Structure 1
Amino acid sequence: MRLKSISLSGFKSFVDPTRVVLPSNMCAVVGPNGCGKSNIIDAVRWVMGESSAKTLRGESMTDVIFNGTTQRQPVSQASIELLFDNSSGKITGEFAAYSEISVRRLVSREGTSDYFLNGNKCRRRDITDLFLGTGLGPRSYAIIEQGMISRLIESKPEDLRVYIEEAAGISKYKERRRETENRMQRTLDNLDRLTDLREELERNLTHLKRQAQAAERYAELKAEERQLKAQLLVLQRRSQAGAQSRAQREIDDFLVEREKHQAAVASVAAEIESLRQQISESNQVTNDLQGQFYSLGSDISRIEQAIQFARERRESVAKDLEQTLEGKQRELALSTADGQRFEDLADAIEAIEPTLQREQADAEHCDGQLAKAEAAALDAERQWDEFTARAAVPRQQVEVQQGRLSNAERNIATLEQRLLRLGESIESSKPDSDSEQLELLTGQLAQAETMVNTEREAIERLKTSVAEHREQGDTLRAQQDELRREIQMLEGQRTSLEALQTNSGDADDGAIHDWLARRHFGSLKSVVEVISVDEGYERAAELVLRDALSGLVLDSAQAISADGDKLPAGLTLVAGAKTVRSNNSDSLAHFLSVPSGLESQIDEVRVVDTWDQALSARATLTGRESVVSCDGVWVGADWIKTSVDTQDEAGLLARQRQLTEVVEQIAVKSAQLNDVDSLLQSAVTALQMVESDINGKEAFLDEALRQRAAAESERAAKVSEAEQRRIRVEQLQRERDETDSLLTTERTLLTEAQQTLVSVKEQVGSDDKNRTDLEALREQARSEVQRCRSLKQQADGALGASQVKLRELLAQREALERSIVRAKAQLADYESREAALRSELPEDDNPDAAAQDELKALLDQRLVVERQLTAARQSLSELEQSMREKEQAKMIAEQAVQNVQGKSESARLKLTESNVRIEQIDTAIAALDTTLAAAEEGLPEEADEAEWQVRVERVSARIHRLGPINLAAIDETSRAEERKEYLDAQNEDLMGALETLEAAIKKIDRETRQRFKDTFDTINAGFSVLFPKVFGGGTACLEMTGDDLLDTGVAIMARPPGKKNSTIHLLSGGEKAMTAIALVFSIFQLNPAPFCMLDEVDAPLDDANVGRYARLVREMSQKVQFVFITHNKITMEGADQLMGVTMHEPGVSRLVSVDIEEAARLAAS
């Protein structure tokens, strides 16, 4: 694999499309400083994926785009393309089958950067993956730029290791290991999230199972409720069926009555029909007479209009005839005038034709004279152009020699100034003693290191404190969540108990509520809220005080005034806000604290534990005494009463006790929650303070690190400064010698230019005399041409005017011919119109006499018809009056029918309501997911609707006591169990994947260690051999700085002949460069990259070392393609191809290529 060409466009100084062809393995790029040679290497680094603008000697990536010069505008984008020959198959993978591979990068000023492989758009990563393991890359050892040689030697062991890894081809292994570690981290994160989900699902599943049991009990009660509701609907349907039969009987009775009234309506309708026939006949007679009357009126109007139209038409024809005669006279006068003008125009045309022929002959004579003058002028111009071209050569030579003279004088002045500056620079660059400053900088560095260690220790202590505070916060938050959950459960219990207590009384009755509002008793407490019962006696107390428990407590009975406001039904009021308790231990009142108004109801009630004891004590009762048992039996002398539901332990009093206990628990838990909130807030505040301290310490640490870095940088700069001054003095001395040589050359060129200038000026003087004669001859020819052109313009003007006048006369004659023809046609029209109008005028003196007689006869006939029409209208009016009377009678009969119909419709409405209600009941039964027959099964005939309503309410109450039910709990439980199985399987899969990834990383590490060890040993052996070859002796080797082959650094130990230096940093710049060359070439011997680019690597070397360097490059070129930039003639001599980069136009680089072998053959021939 080798690099065939580099195509540049808009990149830095290469603004024009430039193609750098690399036909051989030894290509040298030469040219003066600043002409853009290094831009070629920057282009290769950039297209291979370099993303650091600083590395490319810029501040941003758009700096690589040509930014314009004083003569050129900036361009909008930069493009670089590398063309590789892959016939050897060095590139593997999907591009192994391609013999040529194109890599291109395009960047625009908008900041977009695109990559292309063989013309297809790709990612930057695809480019870097393509060159992994080949030794190529944006920062590989195959591209050595200016200053990189010294940086390579002085680089840290960790940075030097990168070159060994690239040579070993394990960079792709590191990339695979990094991706595997990322996948492992993602797998661990997924595993943590999955564990949290499984734990949360386990907790939810336990809660859902409890809810599912409650949902099953709810489903059983709902089924029973649906059955009772269906039976209740059957009872309601039977009631509606009876109402349906009664409504049908009423409809039949009303139908008979309606038929009787409809017969009366039919009789009156027959009479009305007879009258309607007579009215129709009378209408026909009246309409006929009225038609005759209107017809006669129309004829009279028609004759009157005809008489008027005939009179107006005669007047119009007379007026048109008069206008026609006047128009005829006008056209005769105009026709005569046009004939006279036509004859005048014919005479004028005959007179102008001789003048036109004479002027045309004059114009042709002027054309001939002008042609002769122009030919003479062209011959004079040709002689002048030949002389100008011949005389321009010596004048150009004068300008050239003057330019050379000025350029030589400027160069001499510049070189003399440069010699002066070089002398001053050499004097100012002599090294001084810097030992005191180095000792001071070393002390500052040690002080900064101590400060960094102190701040790091303080930060570690604070981080330990942060962990403790966070652990305390997590514990308090867990307690907070538990207390909130318990309070939420207690709040739910309190809400349920309060709802049950509210629903058990009558306080929600509308009438009672309104009455209490009018009395301003809305805030009264109920008896069950005031009463206090010892534990175990709740059922006995509720049995005795059942009717009073739902009552309200007043301060006294006098609070109710007798103002006529009737008490609502179901209201119970108890007087006595203070509660009392009896001292008699056998009395129920001993175990109760009740309002004083209820004391009389329980004073004579004794209490026992069981029903048997109550029956035994019955014989001892006297008067109004009674005994009640704690299990819900109340016995009197001649009666027994039990509680409604002996299995119900949640009566009013028991629920009130539970409600009181729940309220107390809520208060206790709320107080505990407030305490935990306070502790949590304190912990959070303390954590924030510690974190703030950490931020402050980290800021101090950053400042200490900055100071340490500044001290290290300043000390290294000081050490480098002394070395640079020494190198600078040597370079300045070489530049002074070169400047002396250039100054001698420029002085020689100045003398030659002065001598040539004198000779050329003599030739220019001789040409000036001939110039004057030729200019006079050219001006005389131009004047003659101008005179002939003026005469021709005058002749052409006269000829044109005559031609225009002739065309105008011809146009006028043609217009008159058309006018005469039109006048003749118009006279013919007037004559025909005159004849037509005269034919329309009548010959009789009284043309309207016949029409007047016909009009009088029609008027007499209309009077007779008008009298007949009046008599017919009188008869029609009498018949219509009789018709209205009969219709009134019919309307009365129809009203009776409507009344019966309304009653019938009312009965039908009742029937419809019953039918609709039955349909609604059937729909409701179907909505309960049952049928009418199934609902009637087991329903006794004597069943009562009210009783079934009570049963439904009882079952509904039992459902209500179940509290809130999650009906989806059963399905949710099933889904949660399925999800738990799925998550468990996922957990096993992730654990397996984690083990696989760990095994993959171990395998990658094992292979990486082995390849790195083998490569290190091989490069070290090659380095040990090449170093003496480059230096002519000495020893050198590579050493590992650590024990772990995965991350150990690599250090260089080198000792030139006769030296025993302890570190590589003690070598001179040239020695460091030679050592780096030996190392790079030893890497190339192991894993030669397809090509190697060297940018002025030989700059710090003397001639002897440059010779060794050139020979070594020539040997390596058998395997590696070299592209090197150099200013050294010895290095240039070893190249097969020379490419010169010039900047003839300021700011724009251009390429000149020379094949050395071809040039040598041409020189030899």
Structure 2
Amino acid sequence: MVKLNRITLQGFKSFRNKTTLVIGDGITSIAGSNGSGKSNLLDAFSFVLGKNSAKALRADKMEDLIFKSNNGESESAKVELEIDNSDREIKLDENVIKIERKINKQGQSTYRLNEKIETRQYILDLLREARISPDWINIVAQGDITKVLEMNPIERRQIIDELAGLAEFDEKKKKSEIELKKVDEILKEQSLLLKEREKLFQNISVEKRKVETYNELNSKIKKIRFSILKKNLDECLSKKERIGEKAREYEEKIKGIDKEIQDMDRTIEELENKLREYTKNIFRGSEEVKVIEEQEKVKSEIMKLENKINLNNREKERLEKYLEQISEINKPKAIKFLLGKEDILGTVEQILDCDPKYKQAIDVALGNTKNDIIIKSFDKIPTYIKYLKENKIGRAKFLPLDKIKGNVIQTPEGKGVIGNAINLVSFDEKFRNVVEYALGNTIIIDELENSKPFVNKYRIATLEGSLIEKSGAVLGGYKEQLFDENKIKKEIGHLTEENKNLEKELEKLNEELKKISKKREETSSKYAGIGKEAEKIEEEIRKIQEKRRKIYERKLRLQSELSDEKIKLARVEVEIKNYQDELSETELFDEVEEGSIPELKEKLRSYTHEINKLGPLNWKSVEDFEKYRSEYEDLKEKVEKIIEEKYAILKVITEIENRRKEKFMDLFEVVNKEFGDIYSKFTGGEGYIVLEEPGNIYSGLLIKARPKGKRLLGIDSLSGGEKTITAIGFLLAIQRCRPSCFVLLDEIDAALDSENTKKIIEVIKEFSKEQQYIIITHNDVTISKSDQVYGVVSENGISSIVGIKINQK
């Protein structure tokens, strides 16, 4: 058996300086205070043997294994293990084997075998032949005893599986099962094919009838689909006519109200003239006549202006609401959903403003880009696209402010050239990249006739709404519009501007009225009591004006209802266009199917269901009988051979299972015997391992013990010290069944009293005649029984091995 000679550390964990631990025969104990770095020696063994888990080496990441302190740090960590290979158990023609592993600050490892760089896997495979592995049970770290105690029965049984090398059987079984699955799939496929071929000749006429039935049903479905579209179209046309009639009724009513208002305005004017005449007659020649006439005139003007401003505001509100509604109709569904959401800044159309004379040219230059969504950043786009997909809302084009780039071309000189489109619109500067993307490559020209010199050089839009792409393609002609949004916007702008002027005029009149009223107060005492008739006339005027206000409000309600009907009309127009488009792509029939639309839809569902019930159709259903019989016989013979192959694989799987069970049970008995012997030496009692389900090698493994003078108990029912002794006995039994050249134990005696420690160390002492034992311990009993003892001390965070090898013989 191979032996360990020495291990050398440099820059590894707390061992900054080059430190060598010579390993002799028997038991080597390593003692030291807590935190001195004793357990780092165990980590060094695992590290040099190829352990790749930073967590298993008690580090967050592999580069943390490199020495580091407040006083400095190492550039790398290196561990070298020297092995005596005199008996050539390791298949390498060398008496001494040196394995070195070095890790740098990037966490990259380099392996050397006798100073020659090798791969980790090569070294692992080489050492495995001598039963040396960083993951084998001969290395028992702190807490491993507790892990054995905390293992569930299945995990304990898996230790026996690994020890017995059952992975080889599992791999063979897995391969056989994969082969079996393939054969089963082929068998299933061929059996289905065989069954199909067997029936094919008998079913020729049935398959032919299925095809004929399909053609009949498909023809009926086409006619029903045409009929549904046609009926829907006719219904929409009728609906359009009804809505149009209702809209015309509203328009007639509005005309009647307009006439009433005109009549009232005439009456008010007549009463105002009468009031002026009366005032003249009463105060003819008096000083106050002129003042009163002037005051009444100003009052009348103020009243008219206030009414006009109020009416303008209401009309403006109605038009804005109307514009908002028609704008909603024209927006795609996805755009409606996205506007107003977090991180959405609006559409391209919403951020732009321009002179009305350029509006048509800018609209055609933008095209569909006007509905592109401006979003704060690219990172936000996937969330919204995912939502649109999942909810089937539609599609949208996103322009992320942090990524979108545009290109602004140089404006050429020439006849009709107005300028670059981007220079004819106003916008917030934060959107410049978006506007450059949308309009930066387009020039505006007054008319199509002047565009020829610039074709193939520039993208061109004209004032009348034509678009010439740089490729030479031209878009132009009449574009049907259900609503003239530009006209409505102009009217709103006109009302706004008119009100500004009226309010200025009203302010002047109010100031003038104050002056006139003050002047009248100075002279009114002379003519007190002669204005009652005038007051009656003024009251009559107010009543008519109030009636006029109510009638006008009714007009506004009718206009609002008329707007609603026009919106309905627009929606119906969209439906009509959609149905017309669908009909243009549908097979046409001379007559429509009888029945209502719901009845036709039910028929359509029924016929579609019947077609689905037909299943796959065999369009080549007429074949020669002999041909199919020959194919059937050949296929039958092939299926019989596949079945024979399947049973052969099943037999192999059964044999593998039997051999696996036999190997497991052989080792199980050996481990059971070893455990019993070791436990007896520890306690003078009896120890056993049993399967939860006798005979079932996939069931859990139970550890039972009968301490001297006590009844038989499971490991979970033992006291703390008894559990620890039992777990140590189990681990040593496992090690004895597949012994490695060395056993490394880290403070397994920490929880034991001196009496139990003595019993365990005596057993280990006996075993150490065949294996090297390296024990990290605080226990004086363990130290006293060791063949050599080393001390580990730490000074300023740097560990070192002090003293000399001490033979305790």
What's the TM-score bracket when you normalise by the shorter of the two chains? 0.3 to 0.5
In the superposition, the TM-score normalised over structure 2's length comes to 0.42
Which structure has greater strand proportion?
Answer: 2
Which structure has greater helix proportion?
Answer: 1
Q: Which has the higher contact order (CA 8 A, sep 6+)?
A: 1
Q: Which has the larger radius of gyration?
A: 1
